[in-house]
Every structure is written in structure tokens, then in C-alpha cells.
């Protein structure tokens, strides 16, 4: 998905910043933070996705993990088959609000070198994911 899209408009038309709610994709697979890395990689392969939204036992989004991150953990020297997603994901975000502008989300993702960012509501429920195009 491309975050920056050019639209022609007539001169004098006021611009309204697009929000991530306009640009987000569905959240895709959501998994519990107690899932093991190996099972998460299997879920990713089956779903043909490069990321998973991670939720806690209450169903609140705690972050997002990527195939690259999980593969690096699995290939690391300290890896065992008991490592869980809660052990490798970044607790507490980053997240985007549905009111975040596309430009703000793109800046945050490029600054933090993220390929995707979960969009959550005020209660921590995942609404979707906004991603940079490759």
C-alpha cells in the first residue's frame, strides 16, 4: 500500500489531510502474546502475511511483530522453542489513532524504520494496519 498518493484538485480547493483511517488495511491475523515464535511464524506463512497484530489476554493490541523480527529471534543464540511473542514484541506500541494524518504516520514509520503500524481506537482495540509501500 502506498501512503502518499497524488490527487489532482482544482485551485482554491481547501485540502483536508487524509487520516490513517482512510488509508489503513484490515488488521489481518491477530494473535495472543502467549503464542510461541514458531507458531506465529507458521500462522504468518499460512496467512501469507509479513506481520501479525499481537493482543494481550484482554484482546487489547500490544503491538505488531514482523516475519523479519521473528526470524531474527529464532536464529539467535538464545532462542528456545518456549520463547513467546510477549518476550520479543515491543510492549506499548507504537500505535496510530484513526485521526492520525497519513503524513504523521508515514513520518513516524520512516523515523522508526517500521514497515507497518497498528491503528487502534481509544480502548486499545485494533482497527487496522497502515503500511508503507516497498
The confidence score (pLDDT) of residue 5 equals 38
The confidence score (pLDDT) of residue 8 equals 44
Q: Are 27 and 128 spatial neighbours (Cβ–Cβ below 8 Å)?
A: yes
Angle at 38 between CA 88 and CA 44, to 5 degrees: 90
Contacts of 60 (CB under 8 A, 6+ apart): 123, 124, 125
Q: Is this model's pTM higher than 0.85 or not?
A: no
* Cα separation, 96 vs 108, whole angstroms: 9
The confidence score (pLDDT) of residue 10 equals 54
Note the pLDDT tens digit of each residue in 18-31: 999 998 888 889 99
Domains of the chain, residue spans: 20-131
Q: Are 134 and 125 spatial neighbours (Cβ–Cβ below 8 Å)?
A: no
* Cα separation, 24 vs 26, whole angstroms: 7
For the chain, give the longest Cα–Cα distance.
Answer: 60
Percent of the chain with pLDDT over 70: 84
Q: What's the topology of domain 20-131?
A: CBS-domain (3.10.580)
Note the pLDDT tens digit of each residue in 80-121: 999 999 988 765 668 899 999 999 999 988 998 888 899 999
What does DSSP assign to residue 78? Answer: T
Q: Are 20 and 100 spatial neighbours (Cβ–Cβ below 8 Å)?
A: yes
Task: Please compute the mean of the pLDDT values over residues 113-133 and round it to a whole number.
Answer: 89
Mean pLDDT of the chain: 85
Amino acid at each position: 500500500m502506498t501512503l502518499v498518493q497524488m490527487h489532482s484538485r482544482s485551485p482554491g480547493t481547501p485540502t483536508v489531510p487524509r487520516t490513517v483511517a482512510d488509508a489503513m488495511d484490515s488488521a489481518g491475523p491477530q494473535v495472543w502474546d502467549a503464542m510461541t515464535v514458531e507458531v506465529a511464524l507458521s500462522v504468518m506463512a499460512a496467512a501469507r502475511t509479513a506481520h501479525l497484530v499481537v493482543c494481550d489476554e484482554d484482546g487489547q493490541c500490544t503491538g505488531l511483530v514482523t516475519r523479519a523480527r521473528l526470524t531474527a529471534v529464532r536464529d539467535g543464540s538464545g532462542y528456545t522453542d518456549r520463547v513467546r511473542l510477549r518476550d520479543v514484541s515491543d510492549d506499548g506500541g507504537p500505535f496510530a489513532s484513526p485521526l492520525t494524518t497519513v503524513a504523521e504516520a508515514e513520518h513516524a514509520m520512516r523515523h522508526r524504520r517500521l514497515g507497518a503500524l497498528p491503528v487502534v481506537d481509544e480502548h486499545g482495540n485494533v482497527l487496522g494496519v497502515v503500511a508503507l509501500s516497498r
